[in-house]
Structure 1
């Protein structure tokens, strides 16, 4: 199996130039599915911390790069929306956040903000033992007690502590909630949900969002509930 990916065929969310060269690195197996950007691209092409795959492997073998609180050794590890990258020796911390146009961008945050990450609940299922499993947008799972499970629903967002892996905050998907568009023509825009228009049948519900730069409408799959600490304006 090839380790390369044609640049013209990469997802729109990848922060790479498509016409400069023919190939780029291929993402490995892991979170975020096909939308995940290989860590090497962020280290080499976005941050400029390394010049080659060899240098990236050396740096990662020193446990100097943390993703969501865990040391990463695979330069092809997929990185995606709301992941936290920490470079403790440099005292630099970044959150992966959707930019205008849907491209993933790195937003600098402080150490405290980098101690947890945001996740959108995409599925909720009962598991053996009586607990309930919340599956997040990147495919990771968080377990909650059955008696607490009623608080959470799909499309809600939770904040997970990177060290304890426990839920430290919960944001409900509802009218009035602060959201960011993560896909579609309005990707990167932030505002409050003004109205949720429920569509009968199998069609997607429409969401009207009130933003400082004007209202916009999109489908609810394209918005994620956040709070003011997750807008990139941490300072």
Structure 2
């Protein structure tokens, strides 16, 4: 049986909660993101947007079905939301994209209605299917089947959320901009200077230039982004 709550002290460190003032915190339901890389929808409204103070108020907001995550109406306050997810509030005509900043805190960046229709998704692995097609498995749990396999693990695809189709492909290569989703330099954005592939027992690494500062970190933390997402 799934647990409904977490001890506040055991919750991920970047959740917007008052650990010394509350014993329990709501636990995200199983979904597209693992516990360490998400937070429940409830905390967006109580801890970041400040549109509600209690879970009861959050449930009231969600009741009318005007809250959307990646274009789908969500009424479950435990629904897990993660980095790059789109949150839409129809009643306020507001759209946001979720990030983690360089202080390891969740933040919401306002985006336009047109931007909210397209989502950047990182390819975490892929699988060859029958008849030569390929299934791309994406960071947020989505899967896309393509006929021509010109994609590599670590690349980013831009998905049209209305039809789940790929509209563009951003390769992980020298010269592109990436957003770091983990490690010591989480939340930083920079231009790729060098990629060192896995060798023996050493993991693949990436070097980027961020605000004229050279950063080296694991390649797996890099998320290729486009011009619209440069300012995190």
Same fold (TM over 0.5): yes
Runs of 5+ in structure 1 lacking a partner? none
Contact 1:85 1:95 in 2 (8 A): yes
Paired position in structure 1 for 2:112: 110
How far apart, CA to CA, are the structure 2 residues paired with 1:8 and 1:141?
34
Contact 1:102 1:182 in 2 (8 A): no
In 2 relative to 1, CA 127–102 (structure 1 residues): closer, same or farther, beyond 3 Å? farther
How far apart, CA to CA, are the structure 2 residues paired with 1:15 and 1:142?
33
Q: CA deviation at 1:213?
A: 4.3
Runs of 5+ in structure 2 lacking a partner? none
Q: Does 1:48 align with 2:32?
A: no
Runs of 4+ in 1 over 4 A off after TM superposition: none
Paired position in structure 1 for 2:167: 168
Paired position in structure 2 for 1:137: 139
Residues 146-176 of structure 1 show CA distances to partners (whole Å, capped at 9, x for unaligned) of: xx22x21100001111111111121001111
How far apart, CA to CA, are the structure 1 residues paired with 2:17 and 2:131?
45
| Superposed counterparts of 1:72-83, under 5 Å | 72-83=74-85
How far apart, CA to CA, are the structure 1 residues paired with 2:108 and 2:137?
24
Paired position in structure 1 for 2:155: 156
| Superposed counterparts of 1:50-129, under 5 Å | 50-128=52-130
The CA RMSD over aligned residues, in Å, is 1.6
How far apart, CA to CA, are the structure 1 residues paired with 2:156 and 2:46?
31
Q: CA deviation at 1:54?
A: 2.3
How far apart, CA to CA, are the structure 1 residues paired with 2:202 and 2:19?
33
Q: CA deviation at 1:225?
A: 0.6
Contact 1:180 1:224 in 2 (8 A): yes
In 2 relative to 1, CA 98–213 (structure 1 residues): closer, same or farther, beyond 3 Å? farther
Paired position in structure 1 for 2:13: 12
TM-score by length of structure 1 reads 0.91
Contact 1:101 1:186 in 2 (8 A): no
Between the two proteins, the alignment pairs up a number of residues equal to: 230
